[in-house]
Amino acid sequence: MRSRLLAAVRAADDWLAGRVGPTRVLFVLSDGYGFSCQAEVVRHLAHRRGVVVGVTTDRPRPVAEIAFADPAEAALFRAHYVAPGRAAWRKWHMVVDTHRSPFYPRRHALRLFMHHGPGFGILGSKVAVAEDFDCFLGLSAIQRAIFEGLRPGLFDDRHAFFAVGFPKDDPFARGGFDRTAILAELGLDPRRPTLLITSHWQAGATLRRFRDAPFARLAEGGEWNVLQTGHPWLWRGGKGGLDPAWCSDLVADLRAVETRHPHARFLPDHRVEPLLAAADLLVADHSSVITTYSLLDRPIVWFDNPDFEFALPEIGAIYRAASHRFTAAEGLVAACRAALAAPAARADGRRLMRDTFHANPGGAGAAAAAVIEEIGRCCRVGGPGWARVLALSGQADHRGRPLSPPAG
């Protein structure tokens, strides 16, 4: 009797929400980086008539303790913040996560997933994530085709896919960074070629495998500006099983390289997008930052670790086609010289990388906002409006209508 009464109440709640009032969308923050991926979409939706936007955290915690990327994102979050206890009981049509989070809405709502990095098929396929969520805001039509090859019929009935792209990279794709100004701020000559080295935090990444050797080898010749950055977990330890003492030694070694060479900069705490914009060449590993850099169509030198196996071999093939490669530190300098000497040599591979990981470059946030707006007041798989959601999912392209630049 109790379960039938609860079902009737839920049905009435859904019926009312489907016919009265605005579309209500809640974004769930798991960490500051995840919110950086959501922020462009939040900005666009905040200007849409008939849409109410809320943001909350995946679990109760003081907002003051969240490490946001910049003050603008912190202000955006606070402007739309709803405490998680209240948010769980309010009626939302959609709840949008960048991670599998512990947040649980008490009333029916569609669960949407959006990427917290412009990659897939590297350490995992993300097909299981698509199966866990009602709607998947994906990176491209190519990603959908790969998913459907792995799970035929995945998006036929119970799940929807929308090829929107990666909203966090919109400002980068629109050319929102000034290379000359960035290098001048770092005290480097913009007339010199600039090489950027990045690193994932996991075993097998450039810094985990070679420590400071790539930074030192590229800086020693004196012919280039050389920038070294990496995943934030590398610098302090305590996360991902990284030993704080190992991290401290690594930082000291990188600082020593910077001290020895006037055209070298170790930049552990800088946002990566301005550094990518300043670089004439990227040295990367399996981190998805390589796909962001492909938007510039500039040379890539990739650490093709013989011990690393991609979760999806076709993604590994895309990485190889887009880059010059090295497998040991001794081959790095030669690979960089070859890549700079023939900057168009891997252009077709870089184009494929862009097509695979970046639908709507520069407009992914607008595309995601448009999809959410079109999903509208549907709050349950199989409920009123779900057939319309599946029809929208079946469209080849998902693009945002033109908007003025979002405020904030």
> pLDDT digits over 122-169, tens only?
988 899 999 999 999 999 999 999 999 999 999 999 999 999 999 999
Average pLDDT over residues 196-200: 96
Q: Could you tell me the pTM of the whole model?
A: 0.92
Determine the Cα–Cα distance for residues 179 and 277; give it in Å rounded to an integer: 6
In this model, does residue 286 exceed pLDDT 80? yes
In this model, does residue 305 exceed pLDDT 70? yes
Confidence of residue 2 (pLDDT cuts 50, 70, 90): low
Average pLDDT over residues 166-189: 96
Determine the Cα–Cα distance for residues 340 and 343; give it in Å rounded to an integer: 5
DSSP string spanning 326-360?
A: ESSGGGHHHHHHHHHH-TTTTHHHHHHHHHHH-SS
pLDDT for 1: 65
Average pLDDT, whole number, for the chain? 93
How many other CB atoms sit within 10 Å of the CB of residue 276? 26
Give Cβ neighbours of residue 286 (< 8 Å, ≥ 6 apart): 122, 123, 200, 204, 205, 303, 305, 308, 310, 319
In this model, does residue 405 exceed pLDDT 60? no
Determine the Cα–Cα distance for residues 171 and 69; give it in Å rounded to an integer: 14
pLDDT for 6: 66
Average pLDDT over residues 185-200: 96
In this model, does residue 4 exceed pLDDT 90? no
Average pLDDT over residues 250-258: 97
Give Cβ neighbours of residue 316 (< 8 Å, ≥ 6 apart): 309, 310
- Short-list 68, 75, 81, 91, CA closest to 12: 91
Confidence of residue 397 (pLDDT cuts 50, 70, 90): confident
Determine the Cα–Cα distance for residues 175 and 405; give it in Å rounded to an integer: 14
- Short-list 289, 121, 302, CA closest to 204: 302
Task: Give ∠ CA 164-165-169 in degrees, rounded to 5.
Answer: 135
- As a whole-number percent, the residues of the chain with pLDDT over 70 amount to 96
In this model, does residue 404 exceed pLDDT 80? no
Higher-confidence position of 395 and 177: 177
pLDDT for 5: 67
Q: What are the tokens at 117?
A: 């990095």
In this model, does residue 25 exceed pLDDT 50? yes
| Surface-to-core class of residue 205, CB atoms within 10 Å of its CB (0-12 exposed, 13-18 middle, 19+ buried) | buried
How many other CB atoms sit within 10 Å of the CB of residue 213? 17
DSSP string spanning 40-100?
A: HHHHHHTTSTTEEEEEEESS---GGG---SSHHHHHHHHHTB--HHHHHHS--SEEEESS-
Task: Calculate the dihedral angle through the C-alpha atoms of 127, 132, 134, 139, rounding to the nearest 10 degrees.
Answer: -30
Which backbone phi and psi does 342 adopt, to 5 degrees? -135, 70
Determine the Cα–Cα distance for residues 354 and 348; give it in Å rounded to an integer: 10
Average pLDDT over residues 256-284: 96
> pLDDT digits over 107-120, tens only?
999 999 999 999 99
